[in-house]
Amino acid sequence: NQRAIRIASFNFHEKWGILALLNPLRPDAWPLVTWFWRLDPGGLVLNGDLERKIRRLEWAVRDRDQGELGPRRDEWVTLQGLRQLRDRIVFSADTLVTLDAFIVVTSTPDALDADVALLQARWESLGIHAVPLTWEQARMLQRMWTGQMPGDSADRPRWWRWLMGPADAWWNPRVVPTERVGQVVWPGWGHVTDDPAKGIYVGHTPQNQPVFVDFFQDVNGLAANLLVVGATGNGKSFWLKTLTQGWLAQDWGVVILDVDGEYRALCDAVGGTWIDISDQQAGTVPNPFALPARTGHGPTDAMRMPTMLRTASTVLRLLGSWDAVTDAAVQQAILQAWAARGVTLEHPESWVQDADPPTMADVWAALEAAPDAAAQDARARLWTYWRGADQQILAHATGNWPVMPGSLVVWHLGNIATQGAWGTTTLPPATAARYWLVMQTTWAWLRVRKMQNRWTVVLADEGQRLLAQSVLGPALVDLATTIRKWNGVLAVATNEPHALWDTPAGQGMWNAAPIKAFLRVESQQVRATAEALHMPQRVATALQALPPQHVLLRMRDGFQDAWTQVRAIVPPEEEAWYRTRARRTS
């Protein structure tokens, strides 16, 4: 029911009339015609290879021009084309791109051949030379551009995914100026990147084409982690909020680590859950004594009670800095608080009960009743976090979220002042404990959603401050290397690109994020970024001249790079959410 056709050449101009291409072939027939194209920047490089190629063609044309038959037409056309493209670069400062294009015609089996012939005749009359592909070539096209071809309905060929990979030897992409692209690629036709049915909108190209990125990856595929780099005030957070809306629209769960409260307006607008664990406002901290949610996976559920005990013990040990003897006394107090609710470590059947978990008040009472010196030492060390200056850590640790409370959850971490190298800044015990609870709770949500076959994004804005922490830095790098196994994606944004390849924590994040987005950066950082990423020269030039709010996006397809420039276009009411800073709440 379908046939793939390659665009071999085109002399089409929009002024000749797009309507001629859109009119039905017959009064009762209007086959589905889908155009696909791929654009890569930097189609022609002025170097010695180009000079030698032009010289060889000049010799071949000159030698054959002495004969009666004249030069070969393909050599003469290639020579003239290379000269024209060279002149566009040198004298007009034009931008060249490599263009691949093909068409899929969908019709009924009995009318397919006739429809293809009629379409070809119409295209030829407009200067578009199209060549039908053989079955073998179509299969090669499938492997190059789509990977797999599931049996979708003929009236909606969703299987055409955009993968900006290298062209095979038999495929001959064309190097053209951008104005020629505008004459063959029209807004609303075809796809520029991944299938919009699964992809997340990331912006429009300068040619006004929407770009979608498919962040769904299986456990055997490439990680889809995203790293965003850009100077302050150039639109990192705005672009990430656009992606957040796209993830939510595709039924992803989104967990945001928000330092400055920039996501409060968006969270309120979409009905998300705002959890404030900062030390500037009153909030609720996750209860370390709550049992993890049941996942339905036997071996995992068999460790629910030990997992809780390990989490709670680690948090209290971070606060108290005690030895193994005191740690054992604290664990006994935790188990006593649970035993009062009929739940014991030795009887897993008792874990099935959905009893309210104990709080620090119950554990404190158990420590008070214990006669040994270790329990009293623990009380002395924990007092400031229970009744003293840092009491919000334990006195407010009543949040019980065994599963993710909604599609969007924002952890408000509060302003973080950092000093020293990334991943080495030592945190105060109260801050370290809060961050530990945040990461442990987020991991628990990931495990549950994985068992439900649901996908999750963990978004960390202001990464230059998060990765600097002794708790968050290693935790985020560990998350980046393993999150894809849990149906997840990690997105991190930073305004300090040099630290990404100069420090261990930064290198770990850099290597684990195949999708990289660059907004405008300081001029002195462009060269370092280009060298670290092995950017083509024209891409580096584009980065240096990138306007504000524009994103230079690099995706990985195997060992190949694919670049595109986009700018997010959103409705005015959403733009107001994205540009609103956090507001103080009571």
Residues 53 and 186 occupy one common structural domain: no
User: Domain span at residue 315?
Assistant: 298-382
Residues 55 and 119 occupy one common structural domain: no
Helix (H) or strand (E) holding 315: helix 304-320
Residues 172 and 321 occupy one common structural domain: no
Residue 472: per-residue pLDDT: 85
Residues 132 and 23 occupy one common structural domain: yes
**Token digits of residue 459:** 């978004």
Residue 214: per-residue pLDDT: 79
- For residue 185, the SS3 value is coil
- Report the distance separating Cα 87 and Cα 83, nearest Å: 6
Residues 171 and 124 occupy one common structural domain: yes
Residues 52 and 163 occupy one common structural domain: no
Considering its fold, how many domains does the chain have in total?
3
Q: Of the candidates 431, 430, 424, 513, which has an alpha carbon nearest to the alpha carbon of residue 473?
A: 424
57 occurs within a structural domain: yes
Residues 127 and 71 occupy one common structural domain: no
Residues 53 and 158 occupy one common structural domain: no
- Report the distance separating Cα 397 and Cα 287, nearest Å: 5
At 365-422, the pLDDT tens digits run 999 998 889 999 999 999 999 998 888 888 888 889 999 999 999 999 887 654 344 4
At 158-188, the pLDDT tens digits run 323 222 223 332 334 455 555 544 444 433 3
- Name the domain boundary from 367, 382, 397: 382
- Name the domain boundary from 191, 212, 229: 191
Kindly report the CA angle at 290 between 343 and 264, in degrees rounded to 5? Answer: 160
530 occurs within a structural domain: no
413 occurs within a structural domain: no
- Report the distance separating Cα 280 and Cα 413, nearest Å: 10
Q: Of the candidates 518, 516, 455, 465, which has an alpha carbon nearest to the alpha carbon of residue 489?
A: 455
Q: Of the candidates 537, 500, 538, which has an alpha carbon nearest to the alpha carbon of residue 516?
A: 500
Please check whether residue 225 is in contact with residue 517, taking contact to mean a CB–CB distance below 8 angstroms: no
Please check whether residue 108 is in contact with residue 1, taking contact to mean a CB–CB distance below 8 angstroms: yes
Residue 190: per-residue pLDDT: 32
- Report the distance separating Cα 256 and Cα 413, nearest Å: 10
User: Which single residue is written with the structure tokens 């955009």?
Assistant: 162
Residues 2 and 107 occupy one common structural domain: yes
- Name the domain boundary from 191, 225, 241: 191
Which residues have C-beta within 8 Å of that of residue 478, sequence separation ≥ 6?
A: none
Please check whether residue 514 is in contact with residue 491, taking contact to mean a CB–CB distance below 8 angstroms: no
499 occurs within a structural domain: no
Residues 183 and 138 occupy one common structural domain: yes
467 occurs within a structural domain: no
Residues 61 and 134 occupy one common structural domain: no
Catalogue the E-assigned strands of 398-530.
408-412, 456-460, 488-494, 515-518
Q: Beta strand pairing status for 253-258 and 408-412? A: parallel
- Report the distance separating Cα 533 and Cα 229, nearest Å: 12
66 occurs within a structural domain: yes
Per-residue pLDDT of the chain in tens (586 residues, 90 and over written 9): 666 776 666 554 444 444 455 555 555 555 666 666 666 666 677 788 888 888 888 888 877 766 667 778 778 878 888 888 888 778 877 777 766 677 777 777 777 888 888 888 877 776 677 788 776 666 666 555 543 333 332 322 332 322 222 333 233 445 555 554 444 443 333 333 455 556 788 888 776 667 778 787 644 455 689 999 988 888 888 999 999 988 998 889 999 999 888 999 899 988 999 999 887 766 788 999 999 988 888 888 889 999 999 999 999 998 988 889 999 999 999 999 999 988 999 988 888 766 689 999 999 999 999 888 999 999 999 999 999 888 888 888 888 999 999 999 999 988 765 434 444 557 788 888 888 999 999 999 999 999 999 999 999 988 888 887 778 888 888 898 889 889 999 999 988 887 777 777 778 888 888 888 999 887 778 877 777 767 777 777 778 888 888 998 887 554 456 677 888 888 777 777 776 544 433 3
CA distances from 491 to 100, 344, 483 (A): 30, 39, 11
543 occurs within a structural domain: no
Residue 507, by phi and psi: left (phi above 0), alpha (psi -120 to 50) or beta?
alpha
Helices (H), 100-205: 112-125, 135-145, 178-184
Please check whether residue 436 is in contact with residue 471, taking contact to mean a CB–CB distance below 8 angstroms: yes
First to last CA, the chain: 63
**Token digits of residue 339:** 């035993």
Residues 102 and 88 occupy one common structural domain: no
86 occurs within a structural domain: yes
Q: In the chain, count of helices (H) and strands (E)?
A: 21, 16
Which residues have C-beta within 8 Å of that of residue 391, sequence separation ≥ 6?
A: 384, 385
- Report the distance separating Cα 89 and Cα 581, nearest Å: 44
